[in-house]
Amino acid sequence: MTANTHSPRRPYSLRSPGHRCARVAVAAALLFTVAACGWTADGADQETSLTGTVYIGGKTDQPGFNLHSEHTDRGFEPDLAAYLGKRIGFTPRWHDVVSAKREQELVEKSSTLVIGTYSITPRRDEQVDFVGPYFVTKQAFLVREDYDGIKTEKDVEDKVICTVEGSTAAIAALPGGATPHTESDYSTCVRKVQQGDVDAVFTDEALLYGYVEQQKNSATPVKVVPDVSFGNINRYGIALPEGRRGDCDKLRDALRRYITDEWASDVKAQLPALVAAYPGDWENRFRPEPQDVNTYSSCKE
């Protein structure tokens, strides 16, 4: 064996000029790719979906909040979406989605946003992101105007109560003995109340005042039972698919401004029965504080 055989091999130099150039090139290429994809170092998605035409899932059978008729969507939520679109730079386009499929709508990316009297809940927040609240409401009972079978909370015990599948009202703890009746939408529930098939509709009070307004000139007008309430306070949020931090930030900032600038005038225009029910107090009851948007939104400052 020769001496050369035993001589130590020259260690491989990581700092050789050729390799250094290659590493710099690879690093530059990676940086360029990451930048081109719109991802920042913290992983936040900066690419926006809120541009051009934005498909919004909503419930288009809810008078006051969103009612589709004669090819037009009217209500508080279309007003809100129009404001956000103008501020952020997109054109809202509505399509109908039932309560039980609102999460699915976003998870499957059929809609970019859902604005449909969609209460923020911890479980929903695990599947989608929320920006909100844009409306705060307790839950109440809607009955025929000539019906006086419910005057106190105790009176609910032996009644048939209509709620909507997938809504928070459907899981609210009604007094023992009350018979729940579930439909796919509130319009059907209201119709059943008017027909006498059920005693009352139970859902968010703000929502019920839309029906009060809509049905005030019908053969069987309806009313909200005053001072009888169960369940939680609901906070409506704008839902979007998880992980779109950039969009979430834009919506949060725009919504905060909306609550200060135009919320009250839109409620007056779209929910006059609600305003009339609580003269001088309706803003205290239903309007969120602008700082609540940071507290309850998935993206916080």
Partner 1 sequence: MRPYAARVTNDVTSATPSASTGADPPDSPGDDGPRPSWLRRAALRVRDAAAGAWVITLLLLADLVTVLGAGAIWLTLGGDAAVVGVTAAALLAFAAAMLPLIGRRGPDGQPPLWPPFVLVVIPLAVLAVGLPAWGTWAFLDSRPVDVTHRVELDVAPPLVNGDTVHASLHTDDPKPRLTITFDIAPHDPAAPVCVPGTGLTVTSTAGAGKDQVRTGAPGTEFTFALGRGVTDIELSVLLDAEQGCEVDLSVASAHLDD
Tell which one of 13, 195, 265, 295 touches partner 1 (CB under 8 A): 295
Residues 209-228 that bind partner 1 (CB under 8 A): none
Kindly state the smallest distance separating residue 121's Cβ from partner 1, in Å: 5
Through-space distance between the first and last CA atoms of the chain, rounded to whole angstroms: 72
- Pick 82 or 233: Cβ nearer partner 1: 233
The pattern of x and - marking residues 147 through 166 that bind partner 1 according to CB under 8 A reads --------------------
Tell which one of 143, 172, 174, 277 touches partner 1 (CB under 8 A): 172
Cβ contact 56:49 at 8 Å: no
- Pick 41 or 173: Cβ nearer partner 1: 173
Kindly state the smallest distance separating residue 296's Cβ from partner 1, in Å: 6
The DSSP output letter for 154 is G
Dihedral angle over CA of 93, 100, 174, 271, nearest 10: 10
Element (H, E) at 4: helix 3-6
Tell which one of 22, 25, 28, 171 touches partner 1 (CB under 8 A): 171
Cβ contact 64:213 at 8 Å: yes
Cβ contact 39:189 at 8 Å: no
Cβ contact 260:95 at 8 Å: no
Q: Distances from the Cα of 2 to the Cαs of 8, 57, 198, 217, 281, in angstroms?
A: 13, 81, 103, 110, 100
For 103, residues 6+ apart whose C-beta sits below 8 A from its C-beta are 124, 127, 128, 239
Tell which one of 229, 257, 269, 285 touches partner 1 (CB under 8 A): 229
Tell which one of 9, 15, 71, 123 touches partner 1 (CB under 8 A): 123
Dihedral angle over CA of 24, 29, 34, 36, nearest 10: 140
Is 66 among the residues that bind partner 1 (CB under 8 A)?
no
- Pick 30 or 171: Cβ nearer partner 1: 171
Is 122 among the residues that bind partner 1 (CB under 8 A)?
yes
At residue 225, the 3 state secondary structure works out as coil
Kindly state the smallest distance separating residue 187's Cβ from partner 1, in Å: 22
- Cα separation, 112 vs 298, in Å, equals 16
- Pick 122 or 279: Cβ nearer partner 1: 122
- Pick 182 or 229: Cβ nearer partner 1: 229
Tell which one of 44, 88, 233, 264 touches partner 1 (CB under 8 A): 233
- Pick 62 or 117: Cβ nearer partner 1: 117
Kindly state the smallest distance separating residue 133's Cβ from partner 1, in Å: 9
Binding positions for partner 1, rule: CB under 8 A? 119-123, 125-126, 138-139, 168, 171-172, 229-235, 295-296
